[in-house]
Structure 1
Amino acid sequence: MTAFTGPTEQHRRTRRLETGWRFHHGDAEGAADPDFADDDWRPVEAPHDWSIEGPFDPESPAGSAQAFLPGGVGWYRRELPSDVEGETVYLRFDGVYRDSDVYLKGEHVGNRPNGYTSFNHDVSGVEGSETLAVRVDNTDLPNCRWYSGSGIYRHVHLIETSALHVVPWGTDVRTPAVTERRARVDVHTEVANDAEEAAVCTLSTTVYDPAGEVVAEAATEQRFAAGQQHTFEQELAVAEPALWSPETPERYHVRSVVHRQDPDGTAETTGEPVDDYVTQFGIRTVTFSADEGVLLNGESMNLKGVNLHHSAGALGAAVPERALERRLETLAAMGANAIRTAHNPPQPELLELCDRMGFLVIDEAFDKWRHEKTGKFFEEWWREDLAAMIRRDRNHPSVIAWSVGNESYDHGEAEMLDDLEMLVEAANDLDPTRPATYGSPAWGDGHEGILKNAEAVAERVDLFSGNYMEHHYDDLRERGVDVPIVGSECRPFFRGSGDDPLAFVPPNPWFDVAERDDVVGQFIWSGFDYLGEAREWPSKGWPTGLIDTCGVPKPPAAFHRSVWSDEPMVEIAAFDPARERAPARPAWSWPALAGHWTFPDREDSRGFVHVVTFTNAETVTLYQNDERLGVQHLADNPDHMIEWYVPYESGTLRAVAETDGEVVATHELQTAGDPARVELDPDREAITADGQDLVYADARIVDDDGVVVPRADHEIECSVSGAGDLAGVDNGDLASNESYTDSRRSAYHGTALAIVQADRSPGEVTITADVEGLEGDEVTIPVQAPE
């Protein structure tokens, strides 16, 4: 894969409004007025989430659904740049949670209730330096089943164009016919003439390959009346296309240049370029089949996916791109290749990363539809919100399906089925190139009721997405369901059996995908632990994901790496019933596995420790202190859990994996001694001075040999100096009452995390970790100027 080197947009200007904001938590009468005094308001940068600052409160109206964190009303104010020059000007908000009202020069510009939807406001006529004010109302709590955050928690853009221009999200690039020799590329481009006089427009469309070379061109002329909008439809061809796939995520670009001519002139030239718009896309084919699952570029594959909420631990809902990239890197190392955006449109940066890194995406619009609080604005806004998601996201090659909803509380009832038909029809109209689906739960009056409801859903969707329905797949096929099936939510360990949705049977739910051609794939609930949807105080979130809020894979995640990844691996985990865990819903929990070999209570008794090894190699040999304990074959353990009972000795437990008699992977655990020091381990050697980039520094309590002390819970003081700031602290413990925005965090299972964000000036940032009674540590990271 090569980087795009073609031209960028040259005849429009797009700027992020990140700095210069002032914030007030609480309502403020008259705050939209340009003359309002906001000198005592707090300076912040956008994106910004005020809820993550806390405090946690068991009496909070947000409750367990939204992590016991505050909502309320908040105001933001700033001045527009002084050099605004566009004839047509838009303000684009990627997401404001929620019920936002935007004011400019004291005048109301518009309202948007949905906190997850991106939206545009036309503010043409501004000249620069006008006062922009945004009121955010997140008082009707809880209004979401998980942590939503509060505020302008995604990017804000100022877009300046000509009066004759490509409208927001106005390009639709499709590749309806693709062979090795040729790809047909259809480009639909919506152009508006906002001027008070007629115009003649020539739209020049150029396709650039992944290296930035021109590979196709077209030009079309159109006469516009004043105020008219027109959709250009152009067909181009690309020879020997480089196909997009998870293995080769090659991306092409379309540059749409709008030329304006004198409507009374006779010149044969294309006219003056007044606007251009660059669209990234990929050339690929995706086919869903009830017999073969999903075919990408004609090749059968399985979706190895996770459900992903929008928040990111200590950062709350204001998540910089680097945090998303780090998450996807962790998932990719596990062998995952797919994301379901549970249960709302994600921030745009996630899809851009999925395009670049080769993830497939089910893009989801809504949760619960008409529920009293989560769906308060559904009736009035569903069509506009759905259209915003599809128009914004339709050119991403990573997006392979639209999900129009999830687990409506009136599942199976007449109104719900009518809503489903309505939404699927709208999605198909907006984008006929991708299937529409809905997260269908295993709900109904007994076994027969569950199947009846599922069958009714299957009749109305293009792809059946079943939440925890693996044990019903055969029944659905026997009832004549003939659409492709995907496990849209799957437990990481439990699989239902017969009428019991929680019955554990040894094969993991993954094998319902691996052993069936008619099942497209699975999406684990959940990929990462997340805030909200907690079981009970003191838990603040969902603690049974494959990866904790610090971004560290838990020992059970090794199972999925063993079945999802082709990279040879072996990993040891020990059953540790004493391991501290936040309150969780047992049906989504693995047994208490731990990645350590420190059991002092077994030292004298020679008690046995139950151990499991995960591998994708042929055999595993286990050694304790260089004594060979035995060898086991993966073929004898079809559930991919090789179990051992080891008479405990302190020291080293080592697993050696072999295939065809060759060692392909090893893993070992070492017994920890007494805590000696805190050790910092940053995840990057340098970061960029753009005000957004991050470095994650693990802070570990270790013994003299550098082994993590698994039950150490020392309080770690983190400090930052130089060209960066402390963005948050975490330890993965969702039952902790410690603030994510403090400088102190207790170690949990021996570790904590400091997240440091770069300033906007180059230099160095120094991170220091101190623990009372132990040796501290310090690391310095270069903060480099943007390229």
Structure 2
Amino acid sequence: MYKAQYLLLFCLFFCFKISAQQETRTIINFNKDWKFYLGDEPKAKDQLYHDESWRKLNLPHDWSIEGQFAENHLATSQGGALPTGIGWYRKKFKVSQSFKNKISYVEFDGVYRNAEVWINGHYLGKRPYGYSSFRYEISKYLKYSNEENQLVVRVDNSEQPNSRWYTGSGIYRNVRLVHTSNLAIDHWGTFISTPKVTNQEATVKVETTVKNTTQNSQKIRLVSSIIDASGKEITSTSQEYVVKDSSATFQQNIVLQNPTLWNIKKPYLYKIVSKIYVQNRQLDSYETPLGIRFFDFQSATGFSLNGVPTKILGVCNHHDLGALGAAINVRAMERQLEILKEMGCNGIRISHNPPAPELLDLCDKMGFIVMDEAFDMWKKRKNKKDYAQNWDDWHKKDLEDMVKRDRNHPSIFVWSIGNEIREQFDSTGTTIAKELSAIVKTLDKTRPVTSALTETNPDKNFIFKSGALDVLGFNYKHEGYADLLKNFPNQKFIATETASALETRGRYDLPKDSVVFMPKDGKSKLTNGNADFTVSAFDNVAAYWGTTHEISWNAVKKYPHIAGLYVWSGFDYLGEPHPYPYPARSSYYGIIDLAGFPKDVYYMYQSEWTSKPVLHILPHWNWSVGQTVDVWAYFNQADEVELFLNDKSLGIRKKENDNIHVSWKVKYESGVLKAISRKNGKTVLTKQIQTAGKATKINLSVDRPILKANGEDLAFVKVSVTDENGNIVPNAGHLINFNVSGVGELVGVDNGYQASLEPFKTNYRKAYNGLCLAIIQTKETAGKIILKATSEGLESNEIVMESLVE
């Protein structure tokens, strides 16, 4: 008995001694319990200011998305026609006495824009660019134990217009409080590269920057370990170094046998865990993602990944999340990527600014080829109050911070230093492009640099003439793809933007006999369009500078020297509602609408970009008797499609020439329209649509019925107005009212209609062409969430979700 007690005491003492030798950084989520005031209140920076009347909220937060649409908003419809202005945030917090000898920082992933920060009345600084991540050391200003600290942030988005798209306003990305030892790995202080990779062996190069705030030279032991996806340590290296100055960078090489390579179908992730020891006492531990892969861009043959020729099948996306605005939410971003992945998309171009870091985490995990982009303009402005006014003072710092923050993500394959930059037309483009490329290459030589160019004529392109670009990115001008190798010998190419085709989900203009470019005169004034600010969902309408999805994809598919494409755009986004003026307030370019409902052209890409069998027919089947209707079918894995109306064959169609779809002209009669695709005479798929009757019911379906009770998880509920047989009524526009009970709340509603002026933050929404969306967010309590939907004249419905503690 005494022996057992002795062993227990010894184990307790030994475990305590070991834990006493272990230190690591402490990262505290700083998103909860803020106070917010919309308007300017200069006294709010003072520590003793009374903010009892201010609104309480959690971050991330976008105050613009909470507002009402209005034509007189300074951001204009180009910026989403939502309010901007000035806002103040205040947060009180306590810090344990145990952190008094630590180095403390507050980190912001993004604040739009002109963020000024104070801690306990001390001014820390200002960051103009609304997309940059940044941090401040606050150690010397902190109070400890039971004393309260006061963090204050002023956000100024009042200078308008400053963007060509919706930006949001506020602290719209995550915030953290970080405590480290006085010897610790620096902010974004690791750089992982893989200079040699085969299927048998990979050399992993680890560069680690150690920050020393002791004011003395320090002897450290740096241990870097490779951890596999299961959490098991595979191999490691350990070396001793002396940190003589305030910071020093050390290089280690680790050889990994039989690595599992990261690719777009199986994006396997390791991680590097870096630890600092002084006299066997651990002072820091830092994790970095690791994806092992090799890739190449070639002039004649395009892109290859791990030695396999691979066409980049990408989309461009802006940062807003529809009804949620710019406030980031991991599940909302994941849902967008899931929808794109299902379409066959394997690439994302971040347009046109540094993204939320969580988006890159998701791209790492889900397998996307990312083009990370820094700027939409350089010194020459595109808007009166845009980033050009901050260029001279901030472009170097903002670009460096983007590269240092993002360079360890295996999903990133290309750095873009700009989009349709106006300096490309004169010699200033040569000088600036060289400077920016040199900044990137100083920090990362493992990836190529590009810029999205608008001219395929070398004489009009000074950025190309600089020699600073490793890959030439071209926006539109697909007619010039055939001559790229001749006009730009030995260069490498990618289509950084294609299409700019326009569609409104569920709207079909007949007949569809030609491609329409809007507006015809190339000016902002509408010259041809619909009175309800819609665009036909047949793929036959495009902005005057672009073309249809089918034409642009065919041009990329045809030429092996084009490494791939990024379609403009994956999703509709707030702002830039070409070709219409207000009340249009969001774009028409998306393959998927703002609510996340696919447009018909989604299935064109799915039929081309995936190996799964696809058969999709359009339009709906509710028309006037005798009307001639264009019927299209997208399909793959088959030789032909036969169309039937009420079991009568309307003929067989096969793809001819470069056509990606087949079509029929059909005299309308109500009933069932059915398509059958066949391969060698055998049926592959059968799809049918039928005439919908009177709207009688509300149907609800949810993307995920089981949620996480973490206060952040989301359920996206699709609301369909149907007839008694469950057919969606294609012209239904009923007002749907929502009520949520249980442990969730309604955080957004939408219907995908680009000219809807209904607010996003309310408990009702009109259906548009039979559909709308309700977004439910969990609380930090487990239980049931019940959404009930009602509408006058329709049978109501409810859906139950379960929220569980992880």
Give the TM-score normalised by the residue count of structure 1.
0.90
Distance 1:75 1:614, change over 3 A: same
Task: Map Cα deviations across residues 678-722 of structure 1 (whole Å, 9 max, x no partner).
Answer: 121111111111111100111111110111111111111112121
DSSP 3-state at the match of 1:80: strand
Alignment of 1:240-279 (within 5 A): 240-261=258-279, 271-279=280-288
Query: Partner residue of 1:625?
Result: 646
Alignment of 1:529-568 (within 5 A): 529-535=572-578, 536-568=581-613
Cα separation, 2, equivalents of 1:560 and 1:49: 33
Task: Map Cα deviations across residues 101-157 of structure 1 (whole Å, 9 max, x no partner).
Answer: 111001111211100011111112324531111000001111111000000000001
> Are residues 1:117 and 2:137 paired?
no
Cα separation, 1, equivalents of 2:465 and 2:107: 35
DSSP 3-state at the match of 1:721: strand
DSSP 3-state at the match of 1:137: strand
% identity of equivalent residues: 37
**Structure 1 residues 126-135 or 42-51, which shifts more?**
126-135
Match for residue 131 of structure 1 among 150, 153, 156: 150
AA at the equivalent of 1:463:
V
Pairwise CA distance, 1:662: 3.2
DSSP 3-state at the match of 1:317: coil
Name stretches of at least 5 consecutive residues in structure 2 with no aligned partner: 1-21, 502-514, 523-543
Match for residue 560 of structure 2 among 499, 504, 517: 517
Cα separation, 2, equivalents of 1:423 and 1:224: 31
> Are residues 1:726 and 2:765 paired?
no
DSSP 3-state at the match of 2:422: coil
Query: Partner residue of 1:156?
Result: 175
> Are residues 1:701 and 2:721 paired?
yes
> Are residues 1:233 and 2:251 paired?
yes
Pairwise CA distance, 1:598: 1.2
Query: Partner residue of 1:165?
Result: 184
Cα separation, 1, equivalents of 2:459 and 2:434: 19
DSSP 3-state at the match of 2:731: coil
AA at the equivalent of 1:299:
V
Task: Map Cα deviations across residues 167-196 of structure 1 (whole Å, 9 max, x no partner).
Answer: 111010000101111000000000011124
Pairwise CA distance, 1:277: 0.1
> Are residues 1:471 and 2:479 paired?
yes
Pairwise CA distance, 1:738: 0.6
Please report the RMSD computed on the Cα atoms of aligned residues, expressed in angstroms.
Answer: 1.9
Cα separation, 2, equivalents of 1:507 and 1:719: 42
Cα separation, 2, equivalents of 1:654 and 1:349: 43
Pairwise CA distance, 1:667: 2.0
AA at the equivalent of 1:468:
Y
Query: Partner residue of 1:223?
Result: 242
AA at the equivalent of 2:487:
R
Cα separation, 2, equivalents of 1:277 and 1:60: 45
**Contact 2:641 2:652 (8 Å CA) reproduced:** yes
Distance 1:260 1:669, change over 3 A: same
Cα separation, 1, equivalents of 2:761 and 2:129: 27
Cα separation, 2, equivalents of 1:142 and 1:455: 27
Distance 1:457 1:16, change over 3 A: farther
Match for residue 12 of structure 1 among 20, 25, 29: 25
> Are residues 1:100 and 2:115 paired?
yes
Pairwise CA distance, 1:503: 8.4
**Structure 1 residues 639-648 or 655-664, which shifts more?**
655-664
Query: Partner residue of 1:578?
Result: none
Task: Map Cα deviations across residues 211-238 of structure 1 (whole Å, 9 max, x no partner).
Answer: 322222111112234x521111001100
Cα separation, 2, equivalents of 1:534 and 1:144: 13
AA at the equivalent of 1:727:
V
Name stretches of at least 5 consecutive residues in structure 1 with no aligned partner: 1-8, 262-270, 575-595
Cα separation, 2, equivalents of 1:85 and 1:435: 45
Alignment of 1:175-324 (within 5 A): 175-225=194-244, 228-261=246-279, 271-324=280-333
Match for residue 764 of structure 1 among 762, 784, 791: 784
Aligned length: 734
> Are residues 1:598 and 2:598 paired?
no
Distance 1:93 1:455, change over 3 A: closer
**Contact 1:166 1:190 (8 Å CA) reproduced:** yes
Cα separation, 1, equivalents of 2:546 and 2:86: 45
**Contact 1:101 1:110 (8 Å CA) reproduced:** yes
Give the TM-score normalised by the residue count of structure 2.
0.88
DSSP 3-state at the match of 1:377: helix
Cα separation, 1, equivalents of 2:228 and 2:342: 28
Distance 1:154 1:85, change over 3 A: farther
**Contact 1:506 1:639 (8 Å CA) reproduced:** no
**Contact 1:495 1:502 (8 Å CA) reproduced:** no
Query: Partner residue of 1:665?
Result: 685
Pairwise CA distance, 1:615: 0.8
Alignment of 1:279-678 (within 5 A): 279-370=288-379, 371=381, 372-374=384-386, 375-442=388-455, 451-453=459-461, 456-457=464-465, 459-491=467-499, 508-535=551-578, 536-574=581-619, 596-599=620-623, 601=624, 603=625, 606-616=626-636, 617-634=638-655, 636=656, 638-678=658-698
**Contact 2:744 2:785 (8 Å CA) reproduced:** yes
Distance 1:234 1:560, change over 3 A: same
Cα separation, 2, equivalents of 1:669 and 1:286: 44
**Contact 1:362 1:403 (8 Å CA) reproduced:** yes
Query: Partner residue of 1:5?
Result: none
Pairwise CA distance, 1:483: 1.6
Cα separation, 1, equivalents of 2:72 and 2:97: 46
Cα separation, 2, equivalents of 1:504 and 1:466: 14
Cα separation, 1, equivalents of 2:255 and 2:118: 45
Cα separation, 1, equivalents of 2:670 and 2:585: 35
Task: Map Cα deviations across residues 244-283 of structure 1 (whole Å, 9 max, x no partner).
Answer: 000110001100001123xxxxxxxxx2001100111100
AA at the equivalent of 1:621:
E
Query: Partner residue of 2:512?
Result: none
Pairwise CA distance, 1:502: 5.2
AA at the equivalent of 1:597:
W
Pairwise CA distance, 1:506: 10
